[in-house]
Each structure stands twice: as C-alpha cells, then as structure tokens.
Amino acid sequence: MEFLQTKAELRAWRQKVKDGVGFVPTMGALHEGHLSLVRRSLEENAWTVVSIFVNPRQFGANEDYHRYPRTLDRDRRLLENLGIAALFAPSEEEIYSPEDEVWISLTRLSRLWCGSYRLGHFDGVALVVTKLFNLVAPNRAYFGEKDFQQARIIEKLVSELFYPIEIVRVPTVREPDGLAMSSRNTYLSPRGRAQAVALYKTLQYIQALVPKTRLTADLLREARTYLIERFPEVKLEYLAIVDEYSLEPIEHLSQTSQPRALIAAYVEGVRLIDNLSLTVPPDAE
Ligand code: PAF
C-alpha cells in the first residue's frame, strides 16, 4: 500500500494506474461500516484508494471537529491488511489555502433535514468531495447509506457537474442490537450506548406500523410517542418519512413510492443519525 500525503504524490500515483480506480473517502476512525465500503471497492475495482481527512469545512463552530477521533496509525494498519493500493492522508494545508474562494452549494438538498440543523455542513462535504474527486479521478466512489442525505447530495453533485464517476451506495452496517456503526458511537458511555439503539428501534417501529396505515402523519405521531415513552433520555431532533430521491416529505405511502424514514437524535449530547427504507405491503394500499 502506498502512503500518500501530498497532492503531487497522489497525482503521480494516479497517472501510473490508468483506469479501474475505486475511491472510498473517509474521515478516519475506521469501523466495520467503512471497511464494508473498502471491501466492496476491492471487489469491483483493480485499484482502491482510501482518503482519510477530517474536513474542517463540514463542522460547525460548536461541533466536534477538535474532538473527532484521529487514529491514523491504526487505520493505516487496517487498510494495509485489507490490501488497498493507496491511502491518501493529506494535511489541511494540502487541501485548503487561506486564499480559497470557491464554495460549492446545493440550494435545496443541502438545506433539508440534517442540513437545516447543521448549517453549511453539506456544502463543506460537497466542497471537499469535489476536491478529492478532482485529485483522485476515480471510476467509482463508495458512500455508506447511513448518511443517506450525504449519499444523495453526492449523487446530485456528480450528475450536475458531469463527473464520469459511478456512485455506489453501500448498506449501513449495524451492531448486533441494530445501532448503526458510527465513529461518534465511541463518545457514548455504556448507559448512553444502551439508549442509542432507540434510533433503529424507532425506525423499525415505523416499519411495523406500515401495514396499519398509509398516512405518514399517523406513523410519525405514533413513533414519536414510542420513542419518548421507551427512551426518555434520547432527545429527538427530527423524524421524517421522505421520498428517497427528492428527500421531500411524503404524506401517503403507496407501493409505487420509495419511502425512507430518517431520524436524528441526541444521546448524552452526541448527535446520531439513522434511516431505513420502508417496505409497503400490498394490503396497505
Ligand atoms: O462521510 C464522511 O466521512 C465525510 O462526510 C466525507 C464523505 C469523507 C467527506 O469529508
């Protein structure tokens, strides 16, 4: 595995390998969720590049940029064992300069859901991913469905900016109790960790109710009550049922709709997100 830290090193490597490049952008602190993206890329591409860069532009002023786990030595060993071709781990100065002026903004998708609580977050993601795509020039890039809104934003970015890159969405990897894997889970105490399963349980609760009603307002009301009663320590930020493509709320479930339930909540002050594709059985029509 080549360990690349500068744009020049990455470009030189990229020129040698020609096509067949799969790219997995990460912020490090790798867990099974990331590794599932890497394994998928290894299966589908001749060369797999992973980037590790904790992107300051996607963190708000009061967010956890400074506290975000940085475990480069361990991550490097894990990736080496998996057999990737190259790891790109640049410094902040390699990616940004104080004179930078370009900003990438998605006018609608960036401002919905997580974007309305984390102002500027998705624009910061779009900017760094654009820079990384330009440097790596991958044929495919891999994003986890756990951050479903992020995956949709990247798909839109690639389509509107005409990048010849196939975006591959990889299903969320979960702990045995259903908690979605996330680097931020490490912030939780054992008590908080036990509460954190509330997000997935609430999503499953919605799915279990789907055969009984097609009205999303009813589903959401019952699911909020379930969450408050069963997990009183969890502070809900939002719970929504949206169309998978537009991410706009839907009022009525039908078999032709592609509904997805989205949730964000705080556990011990740690912000967690999750989502679930909803299956609409014929008898709910
Ligand atoms: O999902 C992440 O880890 C980050 O948002 C990404 C895509 C690596 C951009 O910094």
Q: Which numbered atom of ligand 1 lies nearest the CA of 26?
A: 8
Task: From 143, 170, 197, give the residue that closes a domain.
Answer: 170
pLDDT tops 80 at residue 284: no
* Chain centroid to CA 191: 25
- Nearest of 227, 206, 203 to residue 216 by alpha carbon: 206
31 in active site: no
Which residues is 243 bridged to in the sheet?
259
Contacts of 225 (CB under 8 A, 6+ apart): none
Does 251 map to a domain? yes
User: What CATH number is given to the structural domain containing 208?
Assistant: 3.30.1300.10
pLDDT tops 90 at residue 180: yes
Does 250 map to a domain? yes
204 vs 210: CA distance, rounded Å? 10
For residue 83, the CA-to-ligand 1 centroid distance in Å is 21
Domain that holds residue 36: 2-170
Q: Which numbered atom of ligand 1 lies nearest the CA of 125?
A: 9
CB contact at 8 A, 138 and 23: yes
SS3 annotation, 197-213: CHHHHHHHHHHHHCCCC
Q: Where are the alpha helices (DSSP H) in 137-265?
A: 148-160, 190-196, 198-209, 216-230
The total number of structural domains that make up the chain: 2
Catalytic residue among 31, 34, 66, 121: 34
At residue 285, the pLDDT reads 45
Q: Are residues 139 and 222 in the same domain?
A: no
At residue 18, the pLDDT reads 86
Residues with CB under 6 A from ligand 1: 25-27, 55, 58, 125, 128-129, 147, 150
**Mean of the per-residue pLDDT values for the chain?**
97
Q: Tens digit of pLDDT for each residue in 240-280?
A: 999 999 999 999 998 888 999 999 999 999 999 999 999 99
Q: Tens digit of pLDDT for each residue in 95-152?
A: 999 999 999 999 999 999 999 999 999 999 999 999 999 999 999 999 999 999 999 9
Does 28 map to a domain? yes
